[in-house]
Chains A and B, each alone.
Chain A
Amino acid sequence: MVVLVAHRPAGMRWLTPLALMMSLAMGIAAAAEEPTDDEPLRIGLTSVFLNDRAAFLERWQTYLASRLDREVEFVQRGSYQEITDRIRQGHLDVAWICGYPYVRHQQAMRLLVVPLFEGEPLYRSYLIVPADDETTDSIEELQGKVFAFSDPDSNSGYLYRRYQLKRLGFDSEDFFRRTFFAHAHSNVVEAVAAGLADGGSVDSYVWETLRLHRPELVERTRVASRSPQFGHPPFVARRGLASETRAAVREALLGMSDTARGRELLDELNLDGFSREAPALYEPITAMMHYVRE
């Protein structure tokens, strides 16, 4: 049962009266229809560059908790698959997932917000090679090499490359000598930097953000080619989540750019904010998915 507490955390000052009223209304409504409402709001994360940043996640969690006036629990798993499965099964309330699983399981989730990266709700897939490979500038040149994908559920790290190769007339299984999944974009960067793979496919947002946090790692890789833009991995809510809760979470995320602490957190995330977008943003991914399946 959620009740407004007398001692509000400092962040509460920034709550607009509207948001306050909304969260109050949501609390009452949620209490009426959802017996699990006093449990924490569980948010699943896949954007794996965050994995090793427990202190940051703690602060973000605290921030969201104060905005939602409800305990928030971040849930991390080793693969996209597990997070996708868990939100489909209703074990997670909200998740930050890739556009590819979103379009695959659109009937099981609702689009909440889309991160704004470099001012747009868009990102790309980067083809990266080791920095000492100074010539490669297309995926064709990596034929017969070792290639690192990030995750089978990743658009930028897998789907797009399969699509691209199929368009070029290749099967991604035979095209490379060997392929493997590193299960995170940052791992792909590491694998390519170490020379374990001759090339890899990563999320442009992750690569650019890693460049800020771990320049010594990213310097050892080079972007050989950039894909067209796609809808940025979105925050989604499970289908059954109360609309008030959904709205509150959406507002909390959208409102981050309006508060100083929210902006600090966004800076660390290397994001400009969040925006509401229509599911149509992900249609190109759907199209690629269908093409690849044919």
Chain B
Amino acid sequence: MSGSDVLGRLSFRYKLPLALTITAVFTALVVGAVMLAYAYVNTRASLIDHAESLAAALVATARPALRNDDVWRAYTMLSGRTLDANESGSKRILLDDDYTVFASNRPDRFSVGRTLEADSEFAELGGWIRAQGVPDEPVVVQRGLVDTHLVLVAPVLSEQIAVGALVIAYPRSQLIAGFWQLVAQGGLAIAAILAILLPVGWYLGHRIASPLSQVADTLSRFGERRPEQIAYFQPAPSDEIGRLLEAFNEMLAALREKAALERQVIASERLAALGRLTATVAHEVNNPLGGMLISVDTLRRREPDNPHVQHTGALLERGLGQIRQTVSALLVQGRMEDRDLDPSDVEDVRTLVSSRLDRRQARLEWDAEIASSLPVPATAMRQVLINLLLNAIDALDEGGDWVRFWMEHGLERLDVTVDNNGRAIPAEYLDRIFEPFTTMRAEGTGMGLWVTYQLVEGLGGQIEAHSNNGSTRFRVSIPLPSDQEQAINERN
């Protein structure tokens, strides 16, 4: 498995924080390295600066000390504690014009009257000064002469003639120790910065990445769940991710709508197919049924005294009558020649259902604003209203105590809403509620809503059912024919 595969597979939830972390660490290291390099150069430069200004100050005192042969004065000047409090390891040596030590701050090592060559570490430097002569101005000697020290040689001039030389040497170990101290300090500072940056980076990265991974997770579940089972995302700020979530929400809404539409289409197609099937079957059953009833009647008339015929004939008549009843219930005639719906029809319905409601001690809220007759077939419409109201009242079995009826019309539609707060209809029933023989009650025939549906279809209207925790609602919407249509209908 190659590295890029691993990286490619890694969740954004980790990839982004990781990227931020790596960036922070890398930046900190680069900045730290640059600062340290700068600090090293700077430390060295400031040490040289320091040595030069120290030399300038010391040379002014060294001149009279050399002239007066005043070793003590030179010594106190070179060993002055205040000159170089920080550089305890530094060496300051005043050479006279014979290149022998006139005084030094380390008389135990560079003793008066000896040459630098007597010291193994500074021997080469001594040889170099002797061969070269005292330089005209302060010079930092090349590293090879004294490996272990950073050395400045400054002339002590009297009227342009060198009467001595001042050697100032700082141990490189001190420079390096100072540098490592800087490294340690820098390292600490970087660690402190990272200690802040890393959690912040991790948090930010996580925050940016987590909506993305949620979207990814949700999208991957689309196959196994229905759109309405998938939750919308909370609105986010309008950056790219916010727009993504918004688009996702829009898509989810469209999918939900589409799914609902599909279910509706499937349900109505199924109902239509069922309608055609039942009509055909009913017709096929009805045709021989009429003949069979006439035959039984004829047989019973011919043999009035034969008890066996009479008995069997009566049995056949009752059975065939029940078949005809069932078949005629299946064969709903939507468009029937009928009178218009009248306000009194609605009042009749109210009277009919009220007695049933009283028995259950439930409340009926009634709001029907029908002022005059409406061009809707009265019998069919009465049947629809009664069916819906009786269903609603039956649903009150489990805890419900009210039914609300609401009827209103405009110029184009008549709308009826029937609500109850009784037993809810489970989702699996809701899809098939208008199919025949679908019932939730033990004693129900499952024909009521089928008939209602057929009637509404026949009237060119729509019916829908909703049920949730609190209440169940049926809505019926019937188109009212325009005056023109009405005129044509009447002529027919």
Instruction: Report which A residues bind B (CB closer than 8 A).
Output: 146, 148, 177-178, 180-183, 187, 191, 194-198
* Contact yes or no, A178 B112, CB < 8 A: yes
**Interface range for B:** 10 to 19
Residue pair A195, B111 in contact (C-beta under 8 Å): yes
A-B contact count (CB 8 A): 43
Residue pair A195, B107 in contact (C-beta under 8 Å): yes
Q: A177-B113, A194-B75, A196-B111 are in contact. List 10 more A-B contacts (CB 8 A).
A: A146-B113, A177-B112, A178-B112, A180-B71, A183-B72, A187-B72, A191-B107, A195-B108, A196-B112, A197-B112
In contact, A146 and B111 (Cβ under 8 angstroms):
yes
**Of all chain B residues, which has the CB nearest A198?**
B111
A178 pairs with B71, CB closer than 8 A:
yes
Q: Mark B77-110, 1 if CB is under 8 A from A, else 0.
A: 0010000000000000000000000010001100
Q: Can you name 22 A-B residue pairings with CB atoms under 8 Å?
A: A146-B111, A146-B113, A148-B71, A148-B72, A177-B112, A178-B71, A178-B112, A180-B70, A180-B71, A187-B72, A187-B76, A191-B72, A191-B75, A191-B107, A194-B79, A195-B108, A195-B111, A196-B71, A196-B72, A196-B111, A196-B112, A197-B107
Contacts A146-B111, A146-B112, A178-B113: A196 and B75 contacting too (C-beta < 8 A)?
A: yes
Contact A181 B72 (CB under 8 A): yes
When distances are taken between beta carbons in the complex, the residues of chain B under 8 Å from A194 are 75, 79, 107-108
CB-nearest residue of chain B to A132? B108
Q: Mark B105-128, 1 if CB is under 8 A from A, else 0.
A: 001100111000000000000000
Residues of chain A contacted by B111 (CB below 8 angstroms): 146, 195-196, 198
Kindly list chain B residues whose C-beta atoms are within 8 Å of the C-beta of A148.
71-72
Of B69, B72, B103, most buried by chain A (CB within 10 Å of CB) is B72
Residue ID in chain A nearest B70 by CB atoms:
A180
- Contacting B72 at CB < 8 Å: which of A177, A180, A195, A198? A180
B79 to chain A, nearest CB (A): 7
* Nearest-Cβ distance from residue A250 to partner chain B, whole angstroms: 35
Q: Is the CB of B70 within 8 A of A181?
A: yes
B residues adjacent to A (C-beta < 8 A): 69-72, 75-76, 79, 103, 107-108, 111-113
Cα–Cα, bound, A196→B78 (Å)? 12
Most buried by A among B71, B111, B112, B113: B112
Q: Which residues of B contact A198 (CB under 8 A)?
A: 111
Closest B residue to A148 by beta carbon equals: B72
10 nearest CB pairs, A to B: A180-B71, A196-B107, A195-B108, A182-B72, A195-B107, A146-B112, A177-B113, A178-B113, A196-B75, A194-B107
Q: Kindly report which residue of chain B lies nearest to residue A184, judged by CB atoms.
A: B72
Chain A hits for B71, CB < 8 A: 146, 148, 178, 180, 196-197
Q: Once the chains are docked, how many angstroms separate the CA of A195 from the CA of B110? A: 9
Q: In the complex, what residues of A have CB within 8 A of residue B113's CB? A: 146, 177-178
Q: How far is the CA of A182 from the CA of B107 in the complex (A)?
A: 15
How near does chain A come to B346, taking the closest CB pair, in angstroms?
A: 122
**Chain B, residue nearest A192 (CB):** B107
- Whole-angstrom distance between the alpha carbons of A197 and B76 in the complex? 13
Nearest chain B CB to A240's CB is how many angstroms away? 33
Q: Taking the nearest CB of chain A, how far is it from the CB of B114, in angstroms?
A: 9
Residues of chain A within 8 A (CB-CB) of B70 are 180-181
Q: Most B CB atoms within 10 A — which of A194, A195, A196?
A: A196
Docked pose: A44 CA to B184 CA in angstroms: 56
Alpha-carbon distance between A197 and B74 when the two chains are bound, in angstroms: 13
Q: Which residues of B contact A182 (CB under 8 A)?
A: 72
Complex contacts, A180 vs chain B, CB 8 Å: 69-72, 112
